[in-house]
Amino acid sequence: MSRLFIAFIVLIQFSCSNTNPPSSNTALWEFHPKNNQIAFDNACPPILLNYQELLKGVLAKDTSYIYAAIKNLAMLTDSFPAIVYPKDSGLSNQLKQGWVNINAEIQGLMAESDWLEIYKSTNMISIQLVHLLGEAGFKRQNIYIFTTAFEGQEDGLNWLGMAKTARDPYHPNNKELIQAQQILQEN
């Protein structure tokens, strides 16, 4: 009986010490290619570029750079052209709500000065953005989804990239390139 108990303890300890990064939770987004609209795809690149600028600021741990990037990102999401889906006003309303959600996360990030909260807010912007792009069936370019383990965050922290590899913005001391776990368009 004691051998069984020891084996059980060893098994639990082994399973709890898994150091692999958490897998991306695809329940946060789903790709709908049937919703794709060229006008939406063509309007997104400036937002994606400014989102990448936000990640550069997070990686550099430069709050001035972050605040400049999110100011631009906020203006772009505020003025994002209303894309009308003639056959589906429900989808149109969902996408509009998606921009509102992203903008709310941006506003929350503007109020942060603590690095843990900046990381959490950036993660939430990433989640909202991947959800919106998936809902809209964004096809203009591949969107790569990264997830990294982070202490205190059960599901880790997420970010999006335009390439298959990227540096982890949440661990700036790690100089290695990380491979994307998923591609939005393949889900």
> Per residue in 73-93, pLDDT tens?
999 998 886 666 666 778 888
Residue type, 184: L
**Residue 118 domain-assigned?**
yes
**Residue 20 domain-assigned?**
no
**Residue 90 domain-assigned?**
yes
**Residue 68 domain-assigned?**
yes
- Give the single-character DSSP code of 175: -
Residue 144 CA to residue 101 CA, distance in Å, equals 21
List, in sequence order, every residue forming a beta bridge with 167; answer none if it has no partner: 177
Per-residue pLDDT tens over the stretch 135-168: 999 999 999 999 999 887 788 999 999 999 999 9
Q: Which domain holds residue 150?
A: 28-186
Residue 47 CA to residue 53 CA, distance in Å, equals 10
For Cα atoms 84, 88, 93, give the angle at the middle one, nearest 5 degrees. 65
**Domain count across the chain:** 1
Residue 158 CA to residue 150 CA, distance in Å, equals 10
**Residue 157 domain-assigned?**
yes
- pTM of the shown model: 0.83
**Residue 96 domain-assigned?**
yes
**Residue 40 domain-assigned?**
yes
Query: Which residues in the chain show pLDDT less than 50?
Result: 4-5, 7-24
**Residue 3 domain-assigned?**
no
Residue 177 CA to residue 92 CA, distance in Å, equals 37
